[in-house]
Amino acid sequence: MKQALVIPLLAAASAGLSLAGEPAAKNPKAVVIPPPEPKIVTFDFQERLRFEYRENNFDFNDGVNSLTDDSWLLQRARVGIKVSPTDYLSFYVQGQSSLELDSDRPNEPGVMGAEGDDAIDLRQAYIKIGPKDLNITIGRQILSYGDERLIGAFDWNNLSRTFDAVKFHYGTKDWSIEAFAASVVVADSDTFNYSDLFDGNETGRNQVFSGIYFSTAALCPLGSTTDFYALHLHEEYLAGDTNFVTLGTRLKADVTKTGGWDFETEMAAQFGEVKDKDLSAFAGHWGFGYVWTKSAWKPRLFAEYNFATGDSNAADGDVDTFQNLFPTNHKFYGYMDAFAWQNIHNPAISFSVQPTKTVKLQLDYHAFFLADTSDAWYRANGVTAVRPIKGSASDFVGTELDFTASWKATKNLSFLAGYSHFFCGDYAKATGAADDADFAYVQATFDF
């Protein structure tokens, strides 16, 4: 009897009928929520405050109370507006105000390491034409490539760096290519910031910086990013013209795809002319480590070596010093900014942990040697020499210990604190005073 009843029920269900003989109700379709309409006008705002304390960072001399042996407050505010009337057209303008408060350093940016005052200026102003995968950007903008060892925004600096540029971008799922022609914007505390492109900064260099940068994730089976680039710099000086090419490559691991193994390298060669002298130079970075991705604190241990050629003879008509271009050196060669990717041997080791998702603690240890004592010890700006050249001195400059702590308190508020100590080595002792140096800071950033 039960079997006789079940068979008709199954038949009715397969025919789409209810037990009452009516058509079975079909499942209602899922409600489709359309994506939100893109905003035509958007705003962004950033306020950053950083208190710094520095002792002997520039002269390494306890016996002199330098203007740079002091503490001060760096304040920076940015306001931007973006107008996007269509998916293929957008305009962006960003103003910036940067101040160095309660400081005895000169008010002009770059003098004695000062970041200076630039109360109101234009940081970015560009038009972008085309879709996401094929577009051109024209105007004042940020150029940032790779890890920023050669081209970066240098955002640690209160003024940071932008370019007046034209940039073309084409990208697919697996690779992208960009080509640009640019001139760096020069900060001036008294007037509007100009680049050489508009001859407003009175440098007279007629600087044109151009390049092609290719990046892909498809070449390496370990899921890393591989980059290739060709860069050219043209500048004019009374001592002669500068025209040289930088050819380089970069490889960087994605630790989420390598089982925690962390590796990276970047190498670049340069040839051409610097102020009418023949240039031939090389720089390299090699690093290897491991991230315990399954551990709660995600410990990371990383060892690296940085090298860049120096010049063995300033009078022979050749230049062998690697030209560091427009980098963000603060991230790489010690947080006291006493070194650039020039004339350097720099082995280093780093260890970091993340006690929570929003907190990171890191300890870095650097050793510094000059690649050639017949060349200068260059600061992070790649221009200023720390000490007079002494070819007979030891190449060991010193070591630096950096501790940093970062905390992402909320979506919009983050904090950064750090302490660095420099231990002077034999080269520093042979070329002047050699007292240890200290650097401490606390920074708060609000982004909206």
The answer to whether residues 252 and 216 touch, using CB atoms and an 8 Å cutoff, is: no
Two tokens, residue 58: 């520039």
How far apart CA 443 and CA 48 sit, in angstroms, is 7
Question: Cα separation of 275 and 236, whole Å?
Answer: 8
Determine the Cα–Cα distance for residues 182 and 209; give it in Å rounded to an integer. 5
How are beta strands 300-308 and 194-195 bridged, if at all? unpaired
Alpha carbon separation from 276 to 108, 244, 273 (Å, rounded): 30, 10, 5
> From CA 182, how far away is CA 87, in angstroms rounded?
25
Domain residues of the chain, as ranges? Answer: 2-26+46-447
Q: Which helix (H) or strand (E) holds 270?
A: strand 261-274
Counting Cβ atoms within 10 Å, is residue 329 exposed (0-12), middle (13-18) or buried (19+)?
buried
Q: What are phi and psi of 11, to 5 degrees?
A: -65, -40
Identify whether the C-beta of residue 311 lies closer than 8 Å to the C-beta of residue 319. yes
Please name which of 304, 276, 274, 275 lies closest in space to residue 289, comparing C-alpha atoms: 304
Is the Cα torsion angle 335, 376, 66, 63 positive or negative in sign?
Answer: positive
> How far is 70 from 108, CA to CA, in rounded Å?
17
What is the number of other CB atoms lying within 10 angstroms of the CB of residue 337?
18
Supply 51's token pair: 């208190």
How do residues 233-266 score in pLDDT, each as one tens digit? Answer: 999 998 899 999 999 999 999 998 899 999 999 9
Residue 396's pLDDT is 98
Alpha helices in 219-344 (DSSP H): none
Contact 397, 425 (CB under 8 A): yes
**Do 127 and 139 contact (CB within 8 A), yes or no?**
yes
Phi, psi at residue 211, to the nearest 5°? -175, 170
What's the pLDDT score for residue 27? 54
pLDDT on residue 282? 98
| Two structure tokens written together for 67 | 């203007």
Both structure tokens of 32: 């489709």
DSSP track, 15-59? TTB-TTSSBPPPPPPPPP-PPPPPPSEEEEEEEEEEEEEEESTTT
For the 2-26+46-447 domain, the top CATH level (class) is: mainly beta
Q: Does residue 421 sit in helix, strand or coil?
A: strand
Both structure tokens of 317: 């008509």
Phi, psi of 319 (to 5 degrees): -120, 125
Asked if residue 268 lies in contact with residue 244, where contact means CB atoms within 8 angstroms, the answer is no
Which segments in the chain show pLDDT lower than 50? Answer: 1-25
Query: Angle 358-50-340 (CA atoms, 0-180°, nearest 5)?
Result: 90
The structure tokens listed for 114 are: 């000062």
What are the φ and ψ backbone dihedral angles of 329, each rounded to 5 degrees? -70, -20
351 Cβ neighbours under 8 A, 6+ residues apart: 299, 300, 301, 302, 362, 363
